[in-house]
Amino acid sequence: MNRRDLILGGAGAAAWPLAARAQQKPTIGFLSSRSPTDSVDGLAAFRRGLGQAGYEDGRNIAIEFRWAEGRYDRLEALAAELVNRQVAVLVAVGGEPAALAAKAATATIPIVFSIGGDPTKLGLAASFQRPGGNATGISLLTTQLEPKRLGLLHDLLPGATVFGALVDPRFQPAEDQAKELQVAARAIDRRLILARVSDDAELDAAFEMLVEQQASGLLVTASPFFDTRSNRIIAFAARQGMPAIYQFREFALAGGLIVYGVSFADGYRQVGDYAGRILQGAVPAELPILQSVKFELVINLKTARALGLIVPPILLAQANEVIE
């Protein structure tokens, strides 16, 4: 090989990795506090959001998934894995725990989060209009709806004097949720039993306590952990004949009695849209943090009949969806 060929060969070898990288699909890291089984509708909506920006998994992007399945202590390591994979965008969904883990893992990779509360209070953003850092996303307002849920449960069971509520103490907004529920319970002159639950053993103990304390109805507060344990909670409510209210439509589809909250799917669609826009060159610091404006009341009449419960007509008239 002559000197000229050597120089050209060396230049070509140096250029090849750059060209190969340029042709590779960008990768989105998807970090969730929840599990795949309780995120089916959300994932479908997330992909629709990506599609709005012209992206499809397997065609012009790749997605790396990491699921904590309600175990928040896993999130730090899972976030670090995705950062080490040098993903182009890090999506953090399933509430505050995933968003905070993503933010702690990187100050440079763009982050799109979905949380239930105020991102400025958590240090995720400087303001809603101009986040100012490497993170933006959507606030689903789920954690701020607990008093409204208690009011609906009271409307459903006007003669009940004792209500139970499951609260996840590891979830960052938990104490605010508990305080707001206590204020709301005093306002309607009802006794409220708060069961603080952070793992499966405590969930079983909470079930026993609610039965012993003769709770007439159950409020399941917004929490990724409770989302991953939805089948167990719904089964308990059915066994005890205890009417319960939840945060997302998916609970009602799985047999839960009543749901009041934001559209879970619409929030994930917006996350997908933002991730796609960032891949197109948008800067997180300049993408305003969105807030949910779509709320839904869903009532499962099949479950109501199984409980021997007559749903007041005023609630049925307010419902966005009635499952027969």
At 161-217, the pLDDT tens digits run: 999 999 999 999 999 999 999 999 999 999 999 999 999 999 999 999 999 999 999
What is the C-alpha to C-alpha distance for residues 124 and 220, in angstroms, rounded to an integer?
26
Rounded CA separation 179/196 (Å)? 13
131-160 residue pLDDT tens = 999 999 999 888 889 999 999 999 999 999
pLDDT bucket at 67, cuts 50 / 70 / 90:
very high
- With cut-offs at 50, 70 and 90, classify the pLDDT of residue 117: confident
Does the fold of domain 143-262+296-323 match that of domain 3-141+264-293?
Answer: yes
**Distance of alpha carbon 274 from alpha carbon 112, whole angstroms:** 7
Residue where the block lists tokens 């209070």:
121
% of residues, the chain, pLDDT over 70? 93
What average pLDDT does the segment 105-131 reach? 94
Structure tokens at 122: 């958590």
For residue 264, what pLDDT is reported?
Answer: 84
Phi-psi category of residue 147: left, alpha or beta, with phi > 0 → left and psi -120 to 50 → alpha: alpha
SS3 per-residue string spanning the chain:
CCHHHHHHHHHHHHHHHHHHHHHCCCEEEEEECCCCCCCHHHHHHHHHHHHHCCCCECCCEEEEEEECCCCHHHHHHHHHHHHHCCCCEEEEECCHHHHHHHHHHCCCCCEEEEECCCCCCCCCCCCCCCCCCCEEEEECCHHHCHHHHHHHHHHHCCCCCEEEEEECCCCCCHHHHHHHHHHHHHHCCCEEEEEECCCHHHHHHHHHHHHHCCCCEEEECCCHHHHHCHHHHHHHHHHHCCCEEECCHHHHHCCCCEEEEECHHHHHHHHHHHHHHHHCCCCHHHCCCEECCCEEEEEEHHHHHHCCCCCCHHHHHHCCEEEC
Instruction: Tell me the domain boundaries of the chain.
Output: 3-141+264-293, 143-262+296-323
**CA triple 162-163-169, angle to 5 deg:** 135
What is the Cα–Cα distance from 184 to 163, expressed in whole angstroms? 12
For the chain, give the longest Cα–Cα distance: 95
Torsion of CA 157, 256, 43, 226, to 10 degrees: 80
d(CA 85, CA 108): 14
pLDDT tier, 12 (very low <50, low <70, confident <90, very high otherwise): very low
What's the mean per-residue pLDDT of the chain? 91
User: Is it the case that residue 5 has pLDDT exceeding 70?
Assistant: no
What letter represents residue 284's amino acid?
P
Q: Are 85 and 25 in contact (CB under 8 A)?
A: no
* CATH tag for 143-262+296-323 (out of 2.40.30.20, 3.40.50.720, 3.40.50.2300, 3.30.70.260): 3.40.50.2300
At the topology level, CATH places domain 3-141+264-293 in Rossmann fold (3.40.50)
Could you read off the pLDDT of 225-241 as tens digits, one per residue?
Answer: 999 999 999 999 999 99
